[in-house]
Amino acid sequence: MSIEQLQGSLEPQQADYDDWYIDEPQEPTVNPDDIIPECVPTLSYGLYHLILAPLSLLTMLLLSFLIRRRKLCKSCCWGVPGLLSPLNLLEDSGNRWIPCAVFGFLFSCLWRLLLDPTTLNFITELGGPRQDLWKILALFYYPALCYPLLACQSVQRTVGYLLGTLLSWLHCGALIWQTAECPQTPQFYRYYSLLSALPQIFCLILLSAAYPAMVMHSLRRRSHTEQMSDKNNYLQYLKNVLRRKNSNSSKESGGFGSQVSQIICSYIYPQNTGFHLSLRSILAVTASIVSGYQVALVLLVVFLPTVMKMRQAVDADFLLMLAGFGVTVDEDKSRAVAYIAYYIWAVEVCYTAALVLACALTVTMLLRSLVKHRWALQSLCSGQASLVFLQSCSIRPTPMALSSWMSHISYQVAVTCFGLIIQHVLLFLCNLVVAFLIIIPIIYGKFQIILHILENTWPIWLLLVLAALLQHLCTHFLFLERSLAQIDNRRSLFLLTFLLLPVNALRGLLLSLLRLLVSTIFNVTHFCRLDVSLLQHSVQGWDPAYRNYCHFLMLEVNECHPLVRAFCLLLGPSKEKQADLEEGIQLMPPDGKPQKGGRSHLARIRWSLAYTLIHNPSLLSHRASICTNGAATKRPT
């Protein structure tokens, strides 16, 4: 037989062999309900920025030519244009809602930029190999885009409020339009884009309502009362300081529910009339809450939908895979599938509960930090610096303090987000331990690991309990004489101490584990608070977050002292008639006419003012080179 005949005889076999690899139609592996259709919004991101960026720049130019420059280079172009400041962060003036809304909108945009890589698709397609450079430039672009939204308020004129209304309406309308057209995206989760845009929409709606309200107040000539609100706060604080306190004041006692609510509210944020927090601390908490929402949303949509799909895909094939690893859940396959689905559902519940608890704990700690910050400000303003700092220090502004003040909000946001992740991981592990080692063994009799450990080690636990009980009873009844408060039966005390050395060593192991657990819980719980050091008092300066907060606090006290601002407002000229103030702080009569004995009355008031400014211990740093800080007693470490 020739080679050609052999090859000819092999051809049909080869054809049959190739038939084994014919691509046959397979069942779809993706559920049709999970397929998200591609959506191209009418107002794309590129068109959105192409319209709003020039409008924001034009708004800044209009406001700059509107406001005359009054300090630097007055002769240059007759003081026009002037450089606008987005916000006076050292003075609590104007509406607080607008800065909070702008900061919330800005940090929402930045977190979407970092977490959602599709945000800059319209730029990265043009950027080519330099996509990372465009993302870095976007970190500076978004603050510049939000800059006019703040500057429109700092102008404090009707034209600025009108421009702010126009910009906020354009931002809000464009974002709502994009979200309504394309609510579903394939990124992370189908509704992730919608959920992540909710803080932005809320902040823009707040801006869209605040600016028109300010326009109405300005047109009705009520803007003067709004501008004097911060002055009234300082004067109210001065009145509260000078007012006599009634020693026989009795507090009304309500019911049990009202008392519980008062205790909870006093722990989170107690009322304190006359003393207001600085704007920068409120902005830090607002930005931290918005950023924490974005991080919690990513933690939720990355894990939960995937685990839900796993739970729905559990079947007999999954049991065979577990059997290959030597894991047998139950002899009955249907019950085994039900058990596995239930266990996965328990993991979902543990994960969600841990995330909710972590968010609630983070918000509580942030509100508690406001309480601590206000207490520290009050202590420093009253000259009691020894209650806040361990050592006497100067509260004069330094380059380090100014740098810490500039970065305080950003540091607070970053530490809060990282602390939220750590708290969530720890709480998730604790929930898993409680669910699978305590709850499920009690209900279903599965995973009885703790019960087996207790069955094998119960003599040791009984020994430790009896030793601790014996030691406490002997010290209570035998080794201590209560009448004289002296040690008695010293020989028996020394003998029992020597005999219990090995047992107390075992108790020491439990003590070390408990110490590790308590320190971990405390540090993880207070991780998001910059005002609490995670180190021991003598080395708390090594904590960079706490050091940043201390510098921030010193600069706040130096620049935002309420008494100094109140006295400056009283001494400064007023364009309109001042309202009748409390007797003792009014320097001039309201009508400006000389009164009988007015010169002596004015002299006494000025002497009282000078005496108050000289003897206030919190103002010594403004005059002396070394600050004594009142009673600078060193706190024991």
The four Cα atoms 190, 193, 196, 200 give a dihedral, to 10 degrees, of -150
Contacts of 558-561 spanning 24+ positions with Cβ under 8 A: 558/395, 558/396, 558/397, 558/621, 559/90, 559/397, 560/90, 560/91, 560/92, 560/278, 561/381, 561/618, 561/619
Looking at 525, 551, 570, which one is the last position of a domain? 525
**11 pLDDT exceeds 70?**
no
Identify whether the C-beta of residue 451 lies closer than 8 Å to the C-beta of residue 441.
yes
Residue 596 has pLDDT above 70, yes or no: no
- Is 468 part of a structural domain of the chain? yes
- The reply to whether 115 falls in a domain is yes
Please tell me the distance from the alpha carbon of residue 229 to that of residue 167, in angstroms, as a whole number.
Answer: 26
Residues whose CB falls within 8 Å of the CB of residue 551, separated by 6 or more in sequence, listed in order: 398, 400, 401, 403, 404, 405
Please tell me whether residues 373 and 499 are part of one structural domain. Answer: yes
How many residues are recorded in the chain? 637
The 10 Å Cβ neighbour count of residue 269 is 13
Identify whether residues 342 and 485 lie together within a single domain.
Answer: yes
Tell me, yes or no, whether 346 and 464 share the same domain: yes
One domain for residues 501 and 376:
yes
d(CA 438, CA 477): 38
pLDDT class of 289 with cuts at 50, 70, 90: very high
Confirm whether 112 is domain-assigned: yes
Using only C-alpha atoms, the chain has a radius of gyration, in whole angstroms, of: 34
Q: Say how many domains are in the chain.
A: 2
- Express each pLDDT in 195-229 by its tens digit: 888 999 999 999 999 888 888 888 776 444 444 55
Least confident of 220-224, 253-257, 347-351, 587-591: 587-591
Same-domain pairing of 223 and 301: no
* CA of residue 145 relative to chain centroid, distance: 23
CA distance 541 to 548: 10
Specify whether 209 is located in the same domain as 305.
Answer: no
Is residue 152 a part of any domain in this protein?
yes
Q: Are residues 449 and 300 in the same domain?
A: yes
Would the CA dihedral through 228, 233, 238, 242 be positive or negative? positive
pLDDT tens-digit readout, 157-199: 788 888 889 999 998 988 888 888 877 777 777 788 888 889 9
For the packed helices 544-559 and 408-434, what is the interaxial angle rounded to 10 degrees?
140
Q: Residue type for 119, please?
A: T
Among 525, 556, 571, the domain-final residue is 525
* DSSP one-letter string for 128-179: TT-HHHHHHHHHHHHHHHHHHHHHHHHT-SHHHHHHHHHHHHHHHHHHHHHH
User: Is 334 part of any domain?
Assistant: yes
pLDDT of residue 359: 94
Does residue 154 contact residue 86 with C-beta atoms inside 8 Å?
yes
Fill in the DSSP letter of residue 47. Answer: H
Tens of pLDDT, residue by residue over 291-321, are 999 999 999 988 888 888 888 877 777 777 7
Q: In the predicted model, is pLDDT for residue 239 greater than 60? A: yes
Report the distance separating Cα 411 and Cα 414, nearest Å.
5
| Under 8 Å between Cβ of 189 and 299 | no
pLDDT of residue 363: 92
Residue 611 lies inside a defined structural domain of this protein: no
Average pLDDT (238-256) is 57
Among the candidates 227, 246, 274, a domain finishes at 227
Q: What's CA 389's distance to the chain center, in Å? A: 24
Boundaries of domain holding 429? 291-525
As a whole number, the mean pLDDT across the chain is 74
Instruction: Report DSSP state, residue 117.
Output: T
238 occurs within a structural domain: no
Q: Are residues 324 and 454 in the same domain?
A: yes
In a domain, 636, yes or no: no
Same domain, 345 and 473: yes
Same domain as 515, residue 430: yes
pLDDT tens-digit map of 494-546 = 888 888 888 889 989 999 999 999 999 999 999 998 888 888 877 877 888 88
Same domain, 218 and 309: no
Same domain, 211 and 300: no
Q: Half-sphere exposure of residue 209, counting CA atoms within 13 Å on the CB side? A: 7
